[in-house]
Chains A and B, each alone.
Chain A
Amino acid sequence: MSAVASARTAPPAGRSLWQDAARRLRANRAAMASLAVLVAMALACLVGPWLTGHPHDRAYRDYVRVPASLEAHPRAEALPEAVRRIAARMRASVVETGQSGEDLRVVLTAARPIDQRLLAYFERSDLFGPARLVASEEDGRRLVLSVPIERQRFLLGTDGNGRDLLTRTLMAGRVSLAIGLLATGVALVIGVTYGAVAGYAGGRIDMVMMRVVDVLYALPFIFLAILLVVFFGRNLVLMFIAVGAIEWLDMARIVRGQTLSIRRRDYVLAAEALGVPPGGVLRRHIVPNLLGPLIVYVTLLVPKVILLESFLSFLGLGVQEPMTSWGVLIADGARAIQGEPGLLAFPAAFLVTTLFALNFLGDGLRDALDPRER
């Protein structure tokens, strides 16, 4: 509000490039919607895994490849069969089962007395809680049990190991988003430092530094990625760094080009004339003025990095079980596509939504920061 007030009193208040850009960005509906989607996605991935009620690495052996649904498991029609299977393991047969509230009333009989320790089989199954003995008749050959039913919801179904797909997808989102941000950060630091130094130093140093970039460009990118993974092992944090260490080349080129055009501007010359050391000129005067094109590039780099990570994970070089990322889930889903298309569709939908939003946001930022659009 104070900005508005001062604009009223101070006569010709100029709008800065940033204010202009923010105004134009707010007017861009696609970009704002993308921003909202991204915030929602980040929140969901951050908080979601605690809210789904399933740990990401818990395997429900009784619920392998359950299709996506809103209803709770176990289904009523699945109960008698499950009880029969457990009874068979206890060497007993089921006489009657009947629902009483949330509990299941089960009557078991056997030729010989039933070992009551075997009741633990109920608890071990994913369908029931610990069985409670109501009555033991005929010297323990006939047991009346009250078994609580464990209700589970798998909104997106479960994977081939019986793990909740929603939890895993959100967990994977954490990893993928974290890799996207961290690797972009690494690329940003290396690329900006390298490019700004090369552009500011100029002459021979610039030439040599840019030749190095040219050579790295000619190295096949997959080769570098694989080599880095081979070097550092399959470590998550090192993956961030490895991916970032590959993606800084474009950044360095962009920054160098911008630096070349900035370093002869009057304000840079003035700072130099006042005796500011080169490091200070770079930090205070050159890098802040690079931010416009950099922000655009960074928003477009994040989806690129997420894609690269999922590509490496798809090849089996990235994130390892039981940890997961969207690339891992998609790779698993692609293998199971014929039987259970949801395993591919849901993680792919999350990934594609995020990438879409990032791309639209990047496009919007580019339009907003383009001075020609004023």
Chain B
Amino acid sequence: MPSYILRRLATALPTLFVVVTLSFFLMRLAPGGPFDLEQPLEAKVMANLRRIYRLDQPLLAQYLTYLGALLRGDFGPSFYFRDFTIGELFAHGLPVSMRLGASALLLALAIGGPLGVLAAFRHNRLADHAVMGFATAGITIPSFVVAPVLQLVFGLGLAWLPVGGWNGGAVRNTILPIVTLALPQIAVIARMMRAAMIETLCADHIRTLRAQGLPAATIALHAARGAALPVLSYLGPAAAALLTGSVVVETIFGIPGIGRYFVEGALNRDYTLVMGTVVVVAIFVLVFNLAVDILYALLDPRVRPE
């Protein structure tokens, strides 16, 4: 097992390197620069700024500088948030985004999984249709519609929860964002769980369990282990996306996470900020895919490496 993990890491690192290289040069190819304002700066000021941020050096030299700094764990200073380094921005934002994302993921698993199992056991009956209708709604209604509606109903109408803001991470402030984040995930997980469960419930080993007259709960438990595999492989990328924050949810609810840095960084040509978010997201994707592979091997003996 350890050698398997090492082998997977060995393929992940070159991917990370290519991602960093690709996004570095892509970002630089984009027209405009970080100091292009509505009113152009004086040539001398511009030259000074470019020198301080080493933008006057050849692109390859800048790339090597960045790569070297990255290896030491230094993401560099932000071009747009002048007084912050990228590391500081992430140190503030990442825990916020991760907390919301992890809560949403757990909520989605806790609700979506059982819903899918229920739908599979009641295949083509009322409960199944209800779950599938809800799941389709969860996938089709975009979060930027769900969020304002939740704000209107629970924030303004019923006045149970705050409309937005972070408030130092008070639980009341996190409920609406978590629900908004979790709804589409609940839907996807329920759908996948249902499809996999229907297939598993027809398998021979489950038929044997049924023939032995075991209670439905026991059968569900046995079937769920096999049916969880496709859901698991979906969870890798989904977890990475959730934990690194959502632009829409963070913008609408005014949450100081890192989701909005994608947009702000790219629009303001904040090169280091964009690179930082790319690196963080890529690391999350790679780590979660690795974790999923390992869990997969634990759940399914057939893919367990020798």
Contact residues of A with B, CB < 8 Å? Answer: 214-215, 217-220, 222-223, 226-227, 230-231, 303, 307, 310-311, 314-315, 317, 330-331, 333-334, 337-338, 341, 344, 348, 351-352, 355-356, 359-360
Contact = CB atoms under 8 A, between A and B. Distances in A.
Nearest to A300: B139
B166 to A, nearest CB: 20
Q: How large is the interface on B (under 10, 10 to 19, 20 to 34, 35 or more residues)?
A: 35 or more
A314 B281 CA distance: 22
21 contacts: A214-B15, A218-B282, A219-B23, A219-B278, A223-B262, A223-B277, A227-B266, A230-B32, A231-B31, A310-B142, A314-B142, A315-B263, A317-B263, A334-B144, A334-B147, A334-B148, A337-B148, A338-B156, A348-B141, A356-B137, A356-B140
Interface string B16-47: 10110011001101111000000000000000
A220 B277 contact: yes
B232 interface: no
Given A220-B277, A222-B247, A355 B30 contact: no
A337 B144 contact: no
A314 B248 contact: yes
A127 B182 CA distance: 48
Interface of B: 15-16, 18-19, 22-23, 26-27, 29-32, 136-137, 139-142, 144-145, 147-149, 151-152, 156, 237, 244, 247-248, 252, 262-263, 266-267, 274, 277-278, 281-282, 285-286
Contacts of B141: 348, 352, 355
Contacts of A315: 247, 263
B30 A231 contact: yes
A258 to B, nearest CB: 18
A41 to B, nearest CB: 14
Contact of A223 (B152, B274, B285): B274
A337 B152 contact: yes
B202 to A, nearest CB: 10
B145 A215 contact: no
A98 B148 CA distance: 45
A218 B281 CA distance: 8
Nearest to B30: A230
Contacts of B274: 223
Nearest to B269: A230
